[in-house]
A and B are shown apart, each in its own frame.
Chain A
Amino acid sequence: MASYKTNEFKGGLKIMLDGDPYTIVENEFVKPGKGQAFNRVKVRNLKTGRVVERTFKSGDSVEAADVLETDLQYLYYDGEVWHFMDPSSFEQLTADEAVIGEASKWIKEQDLCSVTLYNGQPISVDPPSFVVLEITETDPGLKGDTSGGGGKPATLETGAVVNVPLFVQTGEMIKVDTRTGSYVSRAKEE
């Protein structure tokens, strides 16, 4: 089993702690005048997203996590799990609700998602940063209001609800920033 010593620690390194895969967010080397050195590390649990602090004795080893980040194409949702495909190997993988999380609000068929694989299985899914989705329902805006000063809720084809300017209408395509869940612009018809 591969392992890392504390002097290999850096942001982004994937390690195993208590049976869960973690990524190092921040690593601080500390040492008193003489004596034992330590690494105080902030780590994010790749399954839950929770960030915790850990202290290691410098020189200690930690097991490496078999974690891979890869782009997978979203195929379809069968009512229970979400199906993805590796575009180069055509291998198919599935993600359940706990894994897909918030991403389910934004993705539609064919989208390329960044998926974190642990021991070959998806443990988290990030949607593309920007997605173009159709508005399926929103209140009609007032005629002549093009300033975009106010806003109104709009339901998108994936079920997500975002705040849009008053001039945007049902049936239009809009661009959304999935990291903040906010409206970016109208999308041009392609």
Chain B
Amino acid sequence: MEKIELTGMRKSYGKEVAVRHLDLTIEPGAFLTILGPSGCGKTTTLRVIAGLEEPDTGIIQLGDKIVFSRDDGIIVPPEHRNLGLIFQSYALWPHMTVERNITLALKEQKLSASEIEQRLENALEMVQLDAYRYRYPSELSGGQQQRVAVARLIALRSRFLLMDEPLSNLDAKLRTEMRTELKHLHRDLEATTVYVTHDQIEALTLSDIVVVMNEGLVMQHGTPYDIYHHPSNLFVAEFIGDPRMNTFTGTPKNDGGQAMFECGDLSFAMPGDLQPKTGNLIATIRPENINVSKTEREGWLKVALESVQPTGASTILQACTEHISMTLLQPGFIQMDVGDFLWIDVDTSTVNFFDPDTEQNLKS
């Protein structure tokens, strides 16, 4: 198992800057996901690691070998980087059978026939496609094509796996299935893996480490737990989580020694050591961290229901007072009517506070 390291990487296309600055270390054997909206530079980063794009500057290291360094005049082409890559489109060669798709690169490496045959069988078995060996890609379903691409990767036995939104062309059910398989694959192959996606569920479920990118910069780098619970800035807070994070802009008040956050008629206790430069603060609360009661309770805020969207296992509620509105997430299939009243209370331990100017988390 070997690490991947990017230092001071920058990539632009003419005047358009795709990645402004990137320092990234991927530990040996880790599964790292780069997550971000389209155009954030995540695919560019992957292609730079693969060698398909040439960065303006920076150093890229695979294992202990430097594969790119502008300053030292080193540039190793993709064909000599020993990587495995899965594209969104799977990139199966349409004029070759499944078998040929998998063995082409092995044959080019001049491996022995028995070695090739063994790897081929092994790979087909792992993705359960033994029966489809002589089919052409056009004769396979989307999920099966995806598996051929995975089998090709398995047979190649590369030290590094790169995946560019490999699941985004599959339907929802198949996607969940393939997610599990990719996770298995990573464990079995023990390869250092970089996974690029705009789907936060994939990122949170698959990864050891998530890197959130936006406009060519890393917004946060951490475990899925950290990213979800302690977003280091407002962008990450709002980007991660579905339904969206509630954000409230309000002012801290001192109420008899207890610091309070106030926004309209909502007010709750906050840590006293958070002092903003200006008067205001932004507080973010996950929809599932607001407690809900159907009956009136002491000190809880009364809100009116605006919409009810049951999704089966849970229900998304939209509620408001005269001054503020919020999203709530409750387990179970809730049947209520618009206009009904609820009482809510904020779980203060889960609230994050942000400086409105720098948009940084005040705790970190």
Are chains A and B native binding partners rather than an unrelated pairing? no
B-side interface residues toward A, CB under 8 Å?
A: none
Task: List chain A positions with a Cβ less than 8 A from chain B.
Answer: none
